[in-house]
């Protein structure tokens, strides 16, 4: 079997990714996660002294706490299978990546296993987040100094 025939056969056999269906699933999953987040946000605003601006931080932390429980009991995997990007794009997905890595590598010890592997998947997000924040802030500050834009 030559290469062309093989690739043809491969294309026939592999199931086509149903893009439309995946999009709907991602939309619904992500939407539900954000709606839960909105509920938690209102909880913090109603019972504690947080405004709409400041309630975001405890909300994110609580969402990651929920992600920890779901990951620990092995339920997040199922959500991820259904939701695709819908479960990966919210911070719960980021939390899941870090938490599952921490649980999985516990047998290698806390320092080398947990501490070292926690950032294996999520580290790139932090690296690019911090670096892009630096670049954006630098560019904007220079532009402001030159008088091109205001704050």
Partner 1 sequence: MTASFLIAFVVGGLFCVIGQLLFDVAKLTPGHTLCLLVVSGAVLDGFGLYEPLIDFAGAGATIPITSFGNSLTHGALQEAEKHGLVGVITGMFEVTSSGISAAILFGFIASLLFRSKGRP
Partner 2 sequence: MKRVIAIAGTCLLLAGCGAGAGEIRVSGGEPEENQKVEEVLKEKDGRIVSAVAVFVHEDLLVGVQVKPFSRFSKTKIEEELTKELEKAFPEETVTLSTDLKIFWETDKLDELEEEDKLHKKVETIKSLSKEET
Identity of the residue, 34 or 45, whose beta carbon is nearer to partner 2 in the bound complex: 45
Cβ-contact 102, 114 below 8 angstroms = yes
Cβ-contact 125, 94 below 8 angstroms = yes
Cβ-contact 34, 63 below 8 angstroms = no
Report if residue 40 touches partner 1, rule: CB under 8 A.
yes
- Using CB distances below 5 to 8 A depending on partner kind, what does residue 50 bind out of partner 1, partner 2, none? partner 2
Measure Cα distances from 109 to 8, 54, 75, 80, 99 in Å: 47, 37, 25, 28, 15
Report if residue 5 touches partner 1, rule: CB under 8 A.
no
Please report how close the Cβ of residue 36 comes to partner 2 at its closest, in angstroms. 11
Identity of the residue, 9 or 126, whose beta carbon is nearer to partner 1 in the bound complex: 126
Please give the residues from 83 up to 122 whose contact with partner 1 meets the rule CB under 8 A: 83-86, 88-95, 98-99, 101-107, 110, 114, 118, 121-122
Measure Cα distances from 61 to 1, 40, 64 in Å: 55, 10, 5
Q: How far is Cα 72 from Cα 46, in angstroms, rounded to an integer?
A: 30
Tell me the two tokens of residue 69.
């429980």
Report if residue 43 touches partner 1, rule: CB under 8 A.
no
Judged by CB under 8 A, the residue of 39, 48, 75, 82 near partner 1 is 39
Please report how close the Cβ of residue 151 comes to partner 2 at its closest, in angstroms. 12
């Amino acid at each position: 079997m030559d290469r062309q025939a093989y690739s043809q056969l491969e294309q026939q056999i592999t199931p086509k990714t149903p893009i439309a269906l995946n999009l709907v699933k991602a939309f619904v999953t992500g939407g539900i996660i954000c709606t839960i987040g909105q509920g938690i946000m209102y909880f913090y605003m109603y019972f504690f002294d947080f405004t709409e601006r400041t309630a975001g931080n405890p909300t994110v932390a609580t969402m990651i706490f929920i992600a920890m429980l779901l990951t620990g009991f092995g339920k997040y995997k199922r959500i991820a299978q259904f939701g695709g990007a819908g479960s990966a794009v919210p911070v719960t997905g980021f939390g899941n990546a870090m938490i599952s890595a921490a649980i999985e590598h516990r047998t290698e010890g806390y320092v080398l296993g947990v501490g070292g592997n926690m950032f294996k998947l999520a580290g790139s997000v932090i690296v690019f987040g911090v670096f892009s924040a630096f670049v954006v802030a630098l560019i904007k500050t220079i532009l402001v100094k030159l008088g091109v834009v205001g704050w």
